Chain A
Amino acid sequence: EVQLQQSGAELVKPGASVKLSCKTSGYTFSNYYMSWLKQMPGQNIEWIGNIYGGNGGTGYNQKFKGKATLTVDKSSSTAYMDLSSLTSEDSAVYFCARETFGGWFAYWGQGTLVTVSS
Chain B
Amino acid sequence: DVQMTQSPYNLAASPGESVSINCKASKSISKYLAWYQQKPGKANKLLIYDGSTLQSGIPSRFSGSGSGTDFTLTIRSLEPEDFGLYYCQQHNEYPWTFGGGTKLELK
List A residues at the B interface (Cβ < 8 Å). Answer: 4, 35, 43-47, 59, 61-63, 95, 97, 100, 102-110
Please list the residues of chain B having a beta carbon within 8 angstroms of any beta carbon in chain A: 32, 34, 36, 43-46, 49-50, 55, 87, 89, 91-92, 94-101
Decide if B101 touches A110 in the complex (CB within 8 Å).
no
16 A-B residue pairs with CB within 8 Å = A43-B100, A44-B100, A45-B87, A46-B97, A47-B95, A47-B96, A47-B98, A61-B95, A62-B95, A63-B95, A102-B32, A103-B91, A103-B92, A104-B49, A105-B44, A106-B46
Q: A46-B98, A61-B95 are in contact. Are A105 and B32 (CB under 8 A)?
A: no
Q: How distant is the Cα of A108 from the Cα of B44 in the complex, in angstroms? A: 6
Q: Decide yes or no: A104 and B43 within 8 Å by CB, A44-B98, A44-B99, A62-B95 being known contacts.
A: no
Q: Which of B44, B49, B94 contacts A59 (CB 8 A)?
A: B94
Cβ contact within 8 Å between B44 and A102: no
Chain B contacts of A107 at CB under 8 A?
43
